[in-house]
């Protein structure tokens, strides 16, 4: 079973990589605003390579024009001292190339990295902003972990594309071209000889690259499978131990690990063959150069300096070719990451709604559901033909078993999802006509799960919304009776909290959530099981808060606690996605229906 598991994981992994030309184009669009920087980088690369390539040439001139005179016993004193000054000048010139090369290569690398970082920041920010605008349906189906990877790691890989790939390939091409040009200027026949080696090197590189690339990716895949297995087995360790499968699981892991080792050894061997192969060609080139060049020197066709320079150049000649081959791996993984990122960018963002804006004074709060049908997954109806009306200022409560569709109604009111059939009308206008942002601002939702952001209490109430001042936030905390516990915190409103590692009780968190909602003075209030996790102590405080909050606005609530909905003007009992009963508490208690059962559950039992 183990090898099948390896194969399967292997396949799923492979499906993930499908880069194309379009991806590359989109990627480079991000570079366009930095054209100036890239041009400057190009110039600096040019300068750096120019300087480094000048160096062998300077040594050649030094040997031919100066040293040859100095070592010749036949030259005069005057010639000698002139050659010496010339040599010193050459030395200084060499120093000049070293210094300029230093400055330009540092400048180039710095500028390039800085630009890369800026591009990276832009991509990351726009990706993040895009994600925030995606509809809820997207978040229901896309794994959270993958989303994280897109924003964090994948963008990082793209950065490589703009920095190392771009500069390495440019550098390699320029120096290759530069070496060829200089060599031809110095001596055409020797240059042609060196050039003759190029096809061999390229052919060998291409062949080796093909093989190595395959193995490299197979090896990377094996590694990612190791990680998958590892995380799965660590999380499922208990199960493994309880079934006493350590040996088998160990053997399975060993298999994957051994596969990785096998591929690694292959990779090592191929690299170990490739480099020496190229080096052999280089040695062959140098030997040939000595042979050809030596004879030309003997025949007086070239100077010794030229021969020396050629030997130097031929050594530099191979470097860019080797480097070009290395960049290929980076391009591959950067393309995969970009492809994934752009796929995410291609996800359509949430519909921003129509152009009806919520009036400044707020909504009146008349809600009408007209024969609403809704399904999260096609054909699996969660709401079936639901119709009801909430009059302005009314408090309507929804009750029913888990999964009856209560919370769905709340989600639809906020337009987290769009309905399949029917109509939802708010103050006489279809909710689709409202501007989405305005709609959500006008509706205040208290959710069951309170999400705390890392920051202070006051920030968690105001959420840094521009329309909520600090004073608003404090007043809201007072209204919902949260100020008493906040004032008992060491830093009061400035106390730092975070989602993990917070010491606030469930009830306190819930009070914060009430404050958060009420701070923006919504004209319509939704409580989505907001009182589910509250201790009896806070219950009274919250009850009081709810009463205050609902006094001047429409309120719709889903609640498990009968006490929460005790004051409701109307109670709607949901059952299998339909409305089963509705009426006031007294009316419903008189019937022998669902509500009666629910009520008993709450007050009898325990």
Partner 1 sequence: MREYQTIFPFISANKRRYFLGIFALLFVDAANLLIPQIMRIFADWAQFGELTRDRIIWAAGVILLLGLMVAVGRYGWRVYIFGTARRLEYWLRDKLFKKYLSLDDQFFNHHRTGDLMAHVTNDVLMVRHSMGGGIIMIIDAVFMTLFTVIMMIYTVGLRTSLVALLALPFITIVVLAMSKPLHQRSREVQDTFSELSNEVQENISGINNIKAFGIEDRRSADFYEVNNKYQEKNMGMLRISVLFDPLIELISGISLVVFIIYGINRIREGSLTLGDFIAVLNYLRMMVWPLVAIGLVVNSFQRGIAAMGRINEILAVQPKVSEADSPTRIEQEDTQDRDSNPGLNIEFRDVWFRYEENLPWVLQGVSFELKDAQSLAILGRTGTGKSTVLNLLLRRYDVSSGQILINGTDIRDIAFKELYEKIAFVEQESFIFSRTIADNIAFSSDGNYDPERVRLAAEFSQVAGDIEAMPDQYDTWVGERGVTLSGGQKQRLAIARAYYQDSDLLVLDDSLSAVDTNTEREILDHLDEVQRGLIMVSQRVSTVQRADQILVLESGVISQRGNHKSLLQDTDGFYARLYQRQLLERKLGEESGEVTQHGSKQL
Residues between 513 and 542 with contacts to partner 1, criterion CB under 8 A: 516-517, 520
Q: Is 125 in the site for partner 1 (CB under 8 A)?
A: yes
Smallest distance, partner 1 to C-beta of residue 299, A: 10
**Please, what is the minimum distance in Å from the beta carbon of residue 127 to partner 1?**
10
CB of 539 to partner 1, least distance (A): 19
Distance from C-alpha of 30 to C-alpha of 155, rounded to nearest angstrom: 12
Residue found under tokens 């009750």: 399
Q: How far is the CB of 279 from partner 1 (least distance, A)?
A: 5
Q: Select the span of 89-97, 194-202, 356-364, 422-430 touching partner 1 (CB under 8 A).
A: 89-97
Query: Which stretch in 2-10, 388-396, 475-483, 485-493 sits in contact with partner 1 by CB under 8 A?
Result: 2-10
Contact 395, 567 (CB under 8 A): yes
**Subset of 387-406 contacting partner 1 (CB under 8 A):** 400-405
Contact 495, 489 (CB under 8 A): yes
Can residue 196 be called a binding residue for partner 1 (CB under 8 A)?
no
Instruction: For tokens 């830093």, name the residue.
Output: 491
* Contact range with partner 1 by CB under 8 A, out of 91-99, 201-209, 356-364, 470-478: 91-99
How many helices (H) and strands (E) the chain has is answered by 22, 12
Structure token digits, residue 38: 């890239």
CA–CA separation, 39 and 171 (whole Å): 13
| Residue 61 near residue 187, CB atoms below 8 Å | no
Q: Residue 325 burial (CB < 10 Å; 0-12/13-18/19+)?
A: buried
Asked if residue 62 binds partner 1 (CB under 8 A), the reply is yes
Task: Report strand pairing: 381-390 vs 524-528.
Answer: unpaired
Residue 316 binds partner 1 (CB under 8 A): no
* Residue 132 interacts with partner 1 (CB under 8 A): yes or no: yes
Count of residues near partner 1 by CB under 8 A: 150
Least distance in angstroms from the C-beta of 66 to partner 1: 7
Q: Is 437 in the site for partner 1 (CB under 8 A)?
A: yes
Interface positions, 440-499, toward partner 1 (CB under 8 A): 440-441, 445, 447, 451, 453-454, 463-465, 499
Tokens representing 214 are 């395959």
Q: Of 22 and 114, which has the nearer Cβ to partner 1?
A: 114
Q: Is 101 in the site for partner 1 (CB under 8 A)?
A: yes
Cα 557 to Cα 568: distance, rounded to the nearest angstrom: 9
Say if CB 374 and CB 350 are below 8 A apart. Answer: no
Task: Candidates 70, 198, 322, 489: give the one binding partner 1 (CB under 8 A).
Answer: 70
In angstroms, the CA 127 to CA 297 distance is 63
Q: Does residue 382 bind partner 1 (CB under 8 A)?
A: yes
Q: Of the two residues 19 and 482, which places its CB atom closer to partner 1 in the complex?
A: 482
Q: Give the footprint of partner 1 on residues 224-283 (CB under 8 A).
A: 226-228, 230-246, 248-250, 253-254, 257-258, 260-261, 264-265, 268-269, 271-273, 275-277, 279-280, 282-283
Stretch 320-359 residues interacting with partner 1 (CB under 8 A): none
For partner 1, give the closer residue by CB, 180 or 311. 311
| Site stretch for partner 1 (CB under 8 A), options 59-67, 179-187, 202-210, 489-497 | 59-67
Q: Helices 304-345 and 21-29, interaxial angle, to 10°?
A: 90
Write down the residue that tokens 């309120």 correspond to.
555
Give the SS3 label for residue 78.
helix
CB of 488 to partner 1, least distance (A): 25
Residue in 361, 379, 380, 586 binding partner 1, rule: CB under 8 A: 380
CB closer to partner 1, 300 vs 428: 300
Residues 144-183 that bind partner 1 (CB under 8 A): 144, 147-148, 151-152
Those residues with Cβ within 8 angstroms of residue 46's Cβ, 6 or more apart along the chain or in another chain: 174
463 Ramachandran zone, left/alpha/beta (phi>0; psi -120 to 50): left
Backbone angles phi, psi at 345, to 5 degrees: -60, -30
Q: Residue 92, exposed/middle/buried by CB under 10 A (0-12, 13-18, 19+)?
A: exposed
Among 91, 189, 301, 326, interactor with partner 1 by CB under 8 A: 91
What are the Cα distances from residue 526, in Å, to 137, 169, 281? 21, 58, 77
Query: What's the min distance (Å) between Cβ of 277 and partner 1?
Result: 7
Which listed range, 92-100, 484-492, 539-547, 583-591, lies at the site for partner 1 (CB under 8 A)? Answer: 92-100
Residue 196 near residue 183 (C-beta atoms within 8 A): no
Those residues whose C-beta lies under 8 Å from the C-beta of residue 174, and which sit 6 or more positions away, are 45, 46, 49
Show Cβ contacts of residue 606 under 8 Å, excluding neighbours closer than 6 positions. Answer: none
Out of 377, 379, 428, 488, the residue judged to bind partner 1 by CB under 8 A: 377
Segment 292-311, which members bind partner 1 (CB under 8 A)?
A: 294-295, 297-298, 304, 308, 311
CB 440 within 8 A of CB 415: yes
Stretch that binds partner 1, among 35-43, 122-130, 203-211, 329-337 (CB under 8 A): 122-130
Minimal distance, residue 89 CB to partner 1, in Å: 10
Q: Positive or negative, the Cα torsion across 441, 470, 451, 562?
A: negative
* Contact window for partner 1 (CB under 8 A) among 14-22, 360-368, 377-385, 418-426: 377-385
Which window, 168-176, 363-371, 549-557, 591-599, contacts partner 1 (CB under 8 A)? 591-599
The closest of 437, 522, 514 to 480, measured between CA atoms, is 514
Tell which one of 14, 139, 206, 537 touches partner 1 (CB under 8 A): 139
């Amino acid at each position: 079973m183990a090898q099948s598991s390896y194969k399967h994981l292997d396949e799923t992994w492979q499906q993930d990589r499908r880069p194309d030309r379009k991806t590359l184009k989109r990627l480079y669009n991000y570079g366009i605003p930095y054209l100036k920087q890239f041009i400057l980088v190009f110039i600096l690369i040019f300068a750096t390579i120019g300087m480094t390539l000048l160096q062998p040439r300077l040594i050649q001139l030094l040997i031919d024009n100066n040293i040859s005179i100095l070592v010749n016993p036949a030259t005069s004193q005057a010639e000698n001292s002139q050659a010496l000054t010339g040599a010193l000048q050459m030395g200084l010139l060499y120093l000049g190339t070293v210094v300029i090369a230093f400055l330009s290569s540092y400048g180039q690398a710095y500028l390039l990295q800085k630009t890369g970082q800026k591009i990276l920041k832009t991509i990351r920010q726009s990706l993040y902003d895009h994600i925030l605008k995606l509809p809820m349906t997207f978040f229901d189906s896309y794994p959270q972990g993958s989303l994280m990877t897109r924003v964090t790691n994948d963008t990082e890989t793209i950065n490589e594309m703009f920095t190392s790939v771009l500069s390495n390939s440019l550098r390699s091409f320029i120096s290759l071209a530069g070496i060829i040009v200089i060599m031809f200027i110095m001596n055409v026949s020797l240059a042609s000889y060196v050039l003759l080696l190029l096809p061999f090197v390229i052919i060998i590189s291409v062949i080796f690259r093909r093989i190595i690339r395959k193995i490299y990716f197979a090896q990377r895949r094996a590694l990612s499978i190791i990680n998958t297995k590892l995380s799965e087995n660590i999380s499922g360790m208990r199960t493994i131990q309880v079934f006493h499968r350590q040996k088998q699981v160990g053997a399975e892991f060993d298999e994957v690990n051994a596969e990785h080792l096998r591929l690694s050894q292959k990779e090592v061997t191929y690299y170990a063959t490739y480099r020496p192969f190229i080096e052999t060609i280089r040695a062959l080139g140098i030997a040939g150069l000595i042979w050809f060049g030596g004879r030309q020197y003997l025949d007086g066709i070239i100077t010794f300096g030229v021969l020396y320079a050629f030997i130097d150049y031929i050594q530099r000649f191979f470097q860019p070719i080797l480097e070009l081959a290395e960049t290929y791996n980076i391009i591959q993984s950067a393309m995969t990451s970009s492809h994934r990122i752009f796929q995410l960018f291609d996800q359509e963002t949430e519909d921003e709604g129509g152009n009806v804006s919520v009036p400044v004074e707020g909504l009146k709060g008349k809600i009408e559901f007209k024969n609403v049908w809704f399904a999260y997954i096609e054909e699996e109806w969660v709401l079936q033909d639901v119709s009801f009306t909430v009059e302005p200022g009314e408090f309507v409560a929804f009750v029913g078993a888990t999964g009856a569709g209560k919370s769905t109604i709340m989600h639809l009111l906020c337009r987290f999802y769009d309905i399949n059939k029917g109509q939802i009308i708010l103050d006489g206008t279809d909710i689709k006509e409202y501007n989405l942002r305005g709609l959500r601002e006008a509706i205040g939702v208290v959710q069951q799960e309170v999400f705390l952001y890392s920051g202070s209490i006051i920030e968690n109430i105001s959420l840094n919304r521009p329309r909520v001042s600090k004073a608003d936030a404090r007043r809201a905390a007072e209204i919902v009776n949260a100020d008493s516990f906040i004032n008992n915190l060491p830093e009061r409103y400035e106390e730092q909290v975070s989602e993990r590692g917070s010491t606030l009780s469930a009830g306190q968190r819930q009070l914060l959530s009430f404050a958060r909602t009420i701070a923006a003075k919504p004209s319509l209030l939704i409580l989505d099981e907001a009182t589910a996790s509250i201790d009896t102590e806070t219950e009274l405080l919250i009850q009081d808060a709810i009463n205050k909050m609902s006094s001047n606005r429409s309120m719709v609530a889903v609640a498990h606690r009968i006490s929460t909905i005790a004051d409701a003007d109307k109670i709607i009992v949901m059952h299998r996605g339909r409305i089963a009963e509705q009426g006031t508490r007294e009316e419903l208690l008189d019937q022998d229906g669902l509500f009666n059962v629910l009520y008993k559950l709450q007050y009898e039992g325990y």
